[in-house]
């Protein structure tokens, strides 16, 4: 059965946390809520779970209206970013606790606990206490407790944020495998666009309590509905430039360029041009690429990649470059925006043109 939110509003202490949220999530799907801190992700999940009640709108599960049904009467599980385990109980009993509360027969409890523990590779830890476990093992225990119920809805509120990179990568892969074989609706909240692309069947973009866009993760990434959505779904965020089209010219500040071929159908007027940091380059790809003469601000070297911040009188840009590029501060360089990879948004921020998938 689908989980459906119909025009949900939620106000807390006079502040609007969720505004007119409409969403439909299908059984067997893995759904990501992507947004900055305080964008409304946790509030929306609490409304899905029944921990909070909306001020307006309905929460439906199939044909059943759950808007005013409390969480204890719903088949739902939730995993938080903190390791919430019972310190006085061994791992087995931590995982089994919701089944015991539901009065599941003992042999069925043992079967289900051992099965989910094996899936999460903690079956050899069932006799230990949480304080004897590593951080990753504790989070696997919390996840196992949520999954062992076979809940209709499983909510993950940034569950991997406190783990190191290697553990996060391992658990992301395992989570996707776990839910491929289940009919559960999984909802995963994160602030990281890379997690949305790695995990999500669908991604819902949240900003200041509003749903900006929702759909298949790849489609939302490649065709953001607005400049706001494009900025949210990317790390570093997409570069946005205020431009004017007049005849065969494209003007950015005081600098005029010949209008690139892919933008030739644009009407005269004001637009916002978008270019992802990973698409900017230090060498031209096409004759009609936009060439910017800029000065280096900061070169952030992170492992095998560089985030290069550059600026001129008319613009500021961030490049995401493979390899190590140690440019001196204030050095003059040329940066190129490939004409085939430009997004165009109108003056109100709505998408006018997106690069074809072949060039993306």
Contact 184, 3 (CB under 8 A): no
Residue 327 has pLDDT above 60, yes or no: yes
At 360 the pLDDT is 56
Residue 57 has pLDDT above 70, yes or no: yes
Residue 31 has pLDDT above 70, yes or no: yes
| Distance, CA of 21 to chain centre | 17
Q: What is the mean pLDDT of residues 163-179?
A: 77
Q: What is the mean pLDDT of residues 25-31?
A: 91
d(CA 266, CA 143) in angstroms, rounded, equals: 50
At 295 the pLDDT is 96
At 198 the pLDDT is 87
> Tokens standing for 221?
């990434």
Tell me yes or no: is domain 27-53+66-231 CATH 3.40.50.300.
Answer: yes
φ, ψ dihedrals at 46, nearest 5°: -65, -35
Instruction: Give the tens place of pLDDT for each residue, 34-49.
Output: 999 999 999 999 999 9
In this structure, the number of other CB atoms found within 10 A of the CB of residue 266 comes to 17
d(CA 221, CA 357) in angstroms, rounded, equals: 11
Instruction: Give the tens place of pLDDT for each residue, 246-277.
Output: 999 999 988 999 999 999 999 999 999 999 99
Q: Quote the Cα angle for 237-242-246, to 5°.
A: 140
At 79 the pLDDT is 86
Residue 61 has pLDDT above 70, yes or no: yes
Alpha-carbon distance values, 116 to 187, 279, 314 (Å): 19, 42, 57
d(CA 124, CA 109) in angstroms, rounded, equals: 17
Fold agreement (27-53+66-231, 239-353): no
Residue 359 has pLDDT above 80, yes or no: no
| Distance, CA of 37 to chain centre | 12
- Residue 167's pLDDT band, with cuts at 50, 70 and 90, is confident
- pTM value is 0.90
The average confidence (pLDDT) of the chain is 91
Alpha-carbon Rg of the chain, whole angstroms? 24
> Tokens standing for 311?
């600026």
Q: Which CATH class is domain 239-353?
A: mainly beta
Residue 295 CB burial class (10 angstroms; 0-12, 13-18, ≥19): middle
| Cis-peptide, bond into residue 236, ω within 30° of zero | yes
DSSP 305: E
Domain segments of the chain as ranges: 27-53+66-231, 239-353
Instruction: Give the tens place of pLDDT for each residue, 272-300.
Output: 999 999 999 999 988 899 999 999 999 99
d(CA 301, CA 328) in angstroms, rounded, equals: 13
Burial 91-101 (b: 16+ CB within 10 A, else e): bbbbbbbbbee
Give which of 152, 213, 175 is closest to 28, Cα–Cα: 152
Q: What is the mean pLDDT of residues 105-119?
A: 93
Give which of 35, 32, 4, 3 is closest to 210, Cα–Cα: 35
d(CA 340, CA 261) in angstroms, rounded, equals: 9
Beta sheet of 269-275, edge-to-edge order: 255-258, 249-252, 239-246, 269-275, 343-346, 351-353
d(CA 158, CA 228) in angstroms, rounded, equals: 22
In degrees to the nearest 10, what's the CA dihedral of 280, 286, 288, 289? 10
Residue 164 has pLDDT above 80, yes or no: no
């Amino acid at each position: 059965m689908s989980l459906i939110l119909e025009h949900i509003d939620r106000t807390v202490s006079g502040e609007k946390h969720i505004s007119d949220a409409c969403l439909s999530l299908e059984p067997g799907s893995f759904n990501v809520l992507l947004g900055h801190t305080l964008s409304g992700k946790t509030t929306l999940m609490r409304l899905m779970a029944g921990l909070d009640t909306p001020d307006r709108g309905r929460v439906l599960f199939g044909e059943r209206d759950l808007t005013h049904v409390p969480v204890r009467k719903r088949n739902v599980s939730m995993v938080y970013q903190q390791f919430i385990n019972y310190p006085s109980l061994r791992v087995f009993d931590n995982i089994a606790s919701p089944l015991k509360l539901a009065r599941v027969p003992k042999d069925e409890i043992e079967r289900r606990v051992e099965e989910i523990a094996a899936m999460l590779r903690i079956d050899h830890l069932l006799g230990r206490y949480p304080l004897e476990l590593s951080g990753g093992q504790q989070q696997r225990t919390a996840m196992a407790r949520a999954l062992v119920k076979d809940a209709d809805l499983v909510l993950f509120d940034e569950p991997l944020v406190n783990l190191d990179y290697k553990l996060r990568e391992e658990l992301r892969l395992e989570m996707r495998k776990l839910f491929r074989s289940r009919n559960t609706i999984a909802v995963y909240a994160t602030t990281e666009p890379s997690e949305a692309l790695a995990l999500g069947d669908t991604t819902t973009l949240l900003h200041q309590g509003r749903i900006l866009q929702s759909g298949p993760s790849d489609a939302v990434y490649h065709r953001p509905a607005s400049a706001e959505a494009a900025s949210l779904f990317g790390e570093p965020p997409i570069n946005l430039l205020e431009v004017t089209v007049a005849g065969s010219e494209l003007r950015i500040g005081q600098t005029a360029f010949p209008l690139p071929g892919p933008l030739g159908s644009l009407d005269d007027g004001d637009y916002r041009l978008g270019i992802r940091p990973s698409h900017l380059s230090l060498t031209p790809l096409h004759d009609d690429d936009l060439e910017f003469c800029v000065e280096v601000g900061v070169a952030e070297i992170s492992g095998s990649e560089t985030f290069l911040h550059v600026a001129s009188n008319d613009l500021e840009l961030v490049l995401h470059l493979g390899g190590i590029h140690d440019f001196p501060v204030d050095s003059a360089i040329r940066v190129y925006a490939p004409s085939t990879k430009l997004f165009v948004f109108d003056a109100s921020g709505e998408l006018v043109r997106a690069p074809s998938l072949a060039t993306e």
